[in-house]
Structure 1
Amino acid sequence: MDKFNDIGFLSPELATWADQLRADFAFEFGIVERIDRLAMRVLFDLPAEEMTEAHMFANLCFGRALQAFQSAILLAQKGALVDSRTLVRSCTETVIALAACRVDDSMPAQIKEDADQHRSKLANALLAADRSKEILSADRVASLAAVVKEVAAEYGARGPRKINWAEKANAGGVSDLYDMAYRTMSGDGAHCTVWSLSRYHSPGNADEKSGFVFRPDRSDIEDTLFTACAAILHALATVIEWFDLSPNHAEMELCVEGWKQMRGSGANVD
């Protein structure tokens, strides 16, 4: 069997490490699994026929958020915490979009506008690159120019606008999640920062010299699981209320209570 020092986080050797982690944090992982089971049940309770554009958008967002949540848990179990936290941020961003759509059914159009802003900006950058004529084929240049023209024709002089996620979180009533998860996991997860890089440095102790380390990390597994659960619970609260999935209310309340006990929190996700 290839060991961690041979192939890193791809090593099956980590299965033993993961088993020990789950045993040491059995309560937390038990709550995670309970929330996940509820989320999977709700996923298949979502309306699938005669949907408005906003309803379809909600389904897409819930599916993406749930997959990001599950992926974050998988990575956390392997000790890849910085990458797990990156996925928690991804989950949170999608939950914010979901919550915003519930109060503003133009959210799908705003997501498209944000994408058009990205397409146009990227196309202009590629066309303006010093070596664009050497790197890009004539067909590719024409395609990029067509994107710029198409976006300009649709949005006029003002151009397409990017989404402000802080504003969307506030509008959707999830500003607490924006600060707790999105911003926190941006600085200590998704981006190259002092905090994310510090995970690869050991300050040293009686048994270990200070210096670079590359190994499974369990330093803040509780916070990572707690925040991941907070994100998907916000998604659950949104769709259960939005689509009147009342048979899930009792289990949702039990999941929230379990989540609070993960860190003795009194936070509100209703």
Structure 2
Amino acid sequence: MTTFDTDGFLSDEISSWEADFENRYSSKLELSVAVNRLAHKMVYTIDIGSEDLSDLLLSTLLARQLSTFQGFVLLSRRGMIFQAEMLVRALAESMFLVGAICKKPDFAKQWVLGDEVSRKKALVRLNEDRRRRGEAPDETAVALIAELEKRIRDEGIIKPSTEQIAKLAGLESYYDTLYGFFSMAVHSSSRSLDKALQKDSDGKLTHVEYGPEIDGFDMHLDYAISMTLYVLHEIAAHFEKDVSEIEVLQKRNAELSGEAQQSVQSDRCEDAAPD
């Protein structure tokens, strides 16, 4: 049997941590299973025979949201909190897109066309790298860059930012709060790295913490579940599917979130109470 000391998060020993995680967050994990199954049900029942761009994008975004949600649950169960936070951010990005497409049907085409801007930038960077290595620029790429520049200019193509997409979806509060918070894990910010530094009672640094986490997942589970349910609800409504099962799960998630907040407040009161 491999141990965490030799194989880290890939060790057999991690299964004992998973058991602790399951006991700690049993209600949220049960809800996650229900959300996952409902999402699978929708993935296989949506009819995308239409060539409507919004239908195609929403169908693929649903599949992306579902697989990302599953990845989040798997990483969380192993106590990989920073990696799980990266996927919460990815769930938010998909949610913003779904919200924007459902609320502004014309946005689907704008978003797809915006990829031409990214395509041009990628080609420019590739040629710049060739120059740095002393190589001549790729002439095919040069011609394509000129073609893309003309199309972008003539058609007024712009690539909307994540913030702009969130605003179109009416989800700017999510962008201003959780998206920025979870972006710290993605970009290896100094604040997120600082969490790994452990100190003794005198405030002196002792070691870098490396291992499974079990605390602090209440908020992560809450947001991951709520954002996935939002995506399910918006897409179900778009395809004129029944949303009652989704709303039942949304209500349950709200109840569990309230219970978690009460528990945290109770713990804080106990900590503050005099001996």
Q: TM-score range with shorter-chain normalisation?
A: 0.7 to 0.9
Alignment of 1:191-230 (within 5 A): 191-204=187-200, 210-230=206-226
Structure 1 residues without counterparts, runs of 5 or longer: 266-270
Are 2:183 and 1:186 aligned? yes
| Residue number among 217, 227, 230 corresponding to 1:231 in the alignment | 227
Task: After superposition, give the CA deviation of every residue in 1:155-174 in whole Å (9 maximum; x if it has no partner).
Answer: 12797422222222222222
Amino acid at match of 1:94: S
Quick check: 2:114–2:159 contact (8 Å CA) kept in 1?
yes
Cα distance in 2 between the residues matched to 1:115 and 1:203? 46
Counterpart in the other structure of 1:89:
89
Give the 3-state SS of the residue equivalent to 1:210 in structure 2: strand
Q: 1:230 to 1:83 in 2, by over 3 A?
A: same
Counterpart in the other structure of 2:158:
161
TM-score (norm 2): 0.84
Counterpart in the other structure of 2:14:
14
Q: 1:204 to 1:263 in 2, by over 3 A?
A: farther
Task: After superposition, give the CA deviation of every residue in 1:51-104 in whole Å (9 maximum; x if it has no partner).
Answer: 411101110111111111111111111111111110111111011111111122
| Residue number among 143, 147, 153 corresponding to 1:146 in the alignment | 143
Q: 1:257 to 1:37 in 2, by over 3 A?
A: same
Give the 3-state SS of the residue equivalent to 2:195 in structure 1: helix
Quick check: 1:62–1:95 contact (8 Å CA) kept in 2?
no
TM-score (norm 1): 0.85
Are 2:256 and 1:262 aligned? yes
Counterpart in the other structure of 1:171:
168
Cα distance in 2 between the residues matched to 1:205 and 1:51? 64
Quick check: 1:204–1:211 contact (8 Å CA) kept in 2?
no
Counterpart in the other structure of 2:238:
242
Cα distance in 2 between the residues matched to 1:42 and 1:204? 51
Cα distance in 2 between the residues matched to 1:70 and 1:222? 17
Greater C-alpha radius of gyration: 2
Structure 2 residues without counterparts, runs of 5 or longer: 260-275
Counterpart in the other structure of 2:27:
27
